[in-house]
Structures are given as C-alpha cells and as structure tokens.
Amino acid sequence: MARLGLNLMKCPADFWEEPTLLMTRRHAMLASTGALLGTTPFARPALAESGPILIGWLAALTGPSSAPAIGFDRGVRFAADEINAAGGVKGRKVEIVTRDTQGDPTKAVNAVQDMIGRQKVNSIWGPTNSGEALATTAVMARAKMPNMHPCVVDTLIDPAKYPNAFRIAPSNGQWDDAVRNYCLNVLKVKEVAVVGDTTGYGVSAVAASVAAFKKDGANVVYQAQIDATQPDVTPDMLRMKNAGAKVLVVWSVATGMEARLMNERATLGWDAPIIGHPALGSGDVRQLLEKPANWDKVYMAGYASCSYDANGKLPPRTADFVARLAGKVSLQDSSLWWVAAGYDAVKLVTDAVNATGSSTSEAIIGYWNGLRDYPGMFGTYTWTPQQHNGYPTKEVVMSQANSQKDGAFKLAPGYA
C-alpha cells in the first residue's frame, strides 16, 4: 500500500483523471489483501520480518543548516549500498526512507508520524539538529520506535523517559568536558572568558560551561552573550582582554560572529587562544577572515576518529573507511564525521537485525542496550539500559580549526 501510495503521489493528475489506468484489478486485489492483512494483528510482523529492513531518515537536506544532513546522507547511502551489494542482512535488503524536514520541527514531526504510521519503518535515524529532535523525541517514544540521533542537547537523552532514544555523537556536556580539560590540563590556564550567541543554545551552553569551569577551580573572568549580527565585537574583546582572560571559550554556531572575534583579536594584537564549538573550524569562517593567520591558535571540539596525528595519519579504522569511500563519496565539502556517523547509524540497525534475527523494536533496542565498545567508524560506542549517551568522552578531542583536509582535522597541540 505504501509503495502504491507513493506511485500515486508522483502522478496525481493522471490518477485523478483516469484512475482505471493505474488502479488495475490486480492492484485492487493486492491492495484489499494488504488492507486485510494490515487489520489482522498477527499478519503484519510476519511480513515485516521477511521484507526489506526499512530505516527512516529524517534529513534536513534543504533549507537552513542543511550541510550536516547532506554529509550524513552520503554515509547513509554508502552504508546501504555496501550492505545490499553484499547480499543484504539474512537475505533482506536495506531500504532508506528519506524525508526532507528542511530543519523545520513541524515537518519533522509530520515525517515521523508518516514513517511510523504509514511506512512502518523498523528504526529512525535523525533528526540531526536539536530543535527538531526536541519535537520528535516524545513522538517516537510513544511509538517505541528505535531512534538513533546525533543531536547535542543533553536533555534529549533520558533512558527513563525515552527508552527508545540513543545518541551516537557527543552531547554538549561532553564537548564542554573536552574544552575544559584542554584549557585547564593541556594549556594550563585558569583565567577564562566564556561567550556565546544570544540563541537558546548559546545562553544554555555558556551557563553550563561557566558552572563547570568554576566547579573545576577556574577563574571565569568574563562571561557574555553576543548578538550574532553585531557588526563590531571590539567592546566585547576589549572587556575580555582587560579582565585578564588568557583563553576565550566560544559556544556558538554563528560563523560570522566567530570570524569577527578572530579578526578583532588580531586587530588588538592579542594572542589568547580561542577554543570551543566545532563551528570554529567551518569553511564559512575561513572566507570571512581578514587574514588566514587570524585562524591560528583556534581549537575546536573534534573527534579522535576523524583527526590526523602528528604524522598526518588517520587512525587505522578510519583510514580504511576513507579508502573505501574513495571515488564514491566526496569529502571535499563535508566533514568526515558526518559521513562516518551516517554510515554507523545504518550499520547499527543492520547489525542488530543480523545479531537478533529480528527487526522488531524490542530486538533493535535490546541489541543497542547491550553494546559494549562497538567499533564504529565515528566512535567506539557503548550503551546500557541506563546510559544512552554512547560516544566515549575520551574520543572527544581538540582539533586545530584551520587544518581541515578531506573532512578531517589535525589534533590540537598537546595531544601528539
């Protein structure tokens, strides 16, 4: 029925004008049989267990902030193609049911309801930004739908409230831990300025970061919110400098604001390191810099799996993955971790089906809850029934923001 519905949606005019051309007697018989089976409580699981493994993919492929989803999508497609080329999982093919949410929480909720109610997917990957996830997580929890996502907001993971939801990437708290550890234990500075933008994310991230720094004995000499559209950040930078900050911690995805901070730091002749959110390494920052040197001494939260060591080598598992991607997936305009996490998201579902022989929600969730040190391409994941943050904090490292090559970054000084 779902497939028939999709076909009809592709040619609505033909359907409404000449329905008999499309709805043949055989289709009608199949449709009515399907409807009958759909209403029989024991029939559908039998069909589902032998048909393709359906993975819903909530992708913000267009609209604002679409770059990550485009990267994730490359990994998802690559994984599905690779698995299907090898014969599938116990004879079952993998099908990706993609819905473009455009980053809109309302569209994401509608897509989830469609995937659960009509498409009957076995698991959902995504959404990939926290705004959407805040809207969809409860909907998926009600349907007990196995859900893997990479969104960073800490409250999205709560095994008691959402036993179906698992995080494949670090939480914001883990980024914060890595940044704080780098400031206090690697750079060994205690005078810290913490700034963010005026969005909800910026405000909450600064508050959490300041509290954690203070708890660890750091001296937070300045904290503030900066409007991302503020054309001149001189006043803020002067206040930070005059307060005696030795390092600037920045929590924002606003690349314009980050570039302005770097440019102003250079104008003031200041060399305090800027450390923080992964957006500090975005290509959008590079083109807004007045001089390439303004990007020096800027370190961002990154990942051990997607970082070059002092010899310019990726970890062996990642290097093997990149070699498999060569010629099939472009890494020129994408972060490697997006592609790797998308790949892992599909593999985690198919490995669950392979290990348990079942694609039911209970089987997939149970499998994920029992994983210890699962060797993914993006990370080495561990989930338990009590802990659904699966990414190890020790694999969150600091990277040199200006060192991106083929989607990966060099480790920041102090790790080598």
Shortest reach from residue 129's CB to another protein, in Å: 12
Extract the tokens encoding 410.
Answer: 């060099």
Number of residues that bind another protein (CB under 8 A): 26
Q: Which is nearer to another protein, 37 or 70 (CB)?
A: 70
Which position among 14, 18, 158, 227 is part of the footprint of another protein (CB under 8 A)? Answer: 227
- What is the Rg, in whole angstroms, of the alpha carbon atoms belonging to the chain? 24
H-type helices in 234-335, by residue range? Answer: 234-242, 255-267, 283-286, 316-325
Does residue 234 interact with another protein by CB under 8 A? yes
Lay out the site mask for another protein across 32-71 (x = CB under 8 A, - = otherwise).
Answer: ------------------------------xxxx------
Q: How many CA atoms lie within 13 A of 170 on its CB side?
A: 23
Q: Which amino acid is at 372?
A: R
Helix (H) or strand (E) holding 389: none
Strand partners, 197: 226
3-state secondary structure of 137: helix
Extract the tokens encoding 88.
Answer: 């599938």
| Cα separation values, 128 from 133, 144, 148, 312, Å | 7, 19, 10, 30
Which position among 110, 155, 204, 225 is part of the footprint of another protein (CB under 8 A)? Answer: 225
Q: Which stretch binds another protein (CB under 8 A): 39-47, 139-147, 148-156, 231-239?
A: 231-239
Does residue 228 interact with another protein by CB under 8 A? yes
Q: Which stretch binds another protein (CB under 8 A): 132-140, 219-227, 357-365, 389-397?
A: 219-227
Does residue 224 interact with another protein by CB under 8 A? yes
Q: Which is nearer to another protein, 218 or 257 (CB)?
A: 257
Of 316, 337, 357, the residue nearest 406 (C-alpha): 337
137-153 burial, b at 16+ Cβ within 10 Å, e below that, comes to bebbbebebbbbbbbbb
Does residue 404 interact with another protein by CB under 8 A? no
Does residue 226 interact with another protein by CB under 8 A? yes
Does residue 242 interact with another protein by CB under 8 A? no
Does residue 158 interact with another protein by CB under 8 A? no
Which stretches of the chain bind another protein, using CB under 8 A?
Answer: 62-65, 198, 224-232, 234-236, 238-239, 255-256, 259, 282, 284, 287-288
